[in-house]
Amino acid sequence: MTKTIELRVYGMTCDDCAKHVSSGLKNLNGVKEVSVSLKDGIAHIRATDTANSNDLIKLDVFKGQYRAQVRSVKND
């Protein structure tokens, strides 16, 4: 089973920022797909049930200029 996690991402100002956040999110075990919208400041993550949304916002990518907040978690 999979789930979709939506994060509000703060601090992104350019396309490289969105790419950096995307590659950082892909590092968590269980993450299958990531799409990051610079315009909306949103990251959508499709992951297995083993991925924890609270672990996502604690990743190294969110310890510097970016920070994230969990907006929703939906089971697919």
| CATH number, position 54 | 3.30.70.100
Looking at the 3D structure of the chain, how many domains does it have? 1
Mean pLDDT across the stretch 59-69? 92
pLDDT in tens, 5-46: 999 999 999 999 999 999 999 988 899 999 999 999 999 999
H/E stretch holding 46: strand 42-48
The whole-model pTM stands at 0.91
Residue 65's domain comprises 2-75
Give the residues across from 72 on adjacent strands: 6
Q: Which residue has the tokens 């797909």?
A: 33
Listed ranges 36-40, 48-52, 72-76; the one with the highest mean pLDDT: 36-40
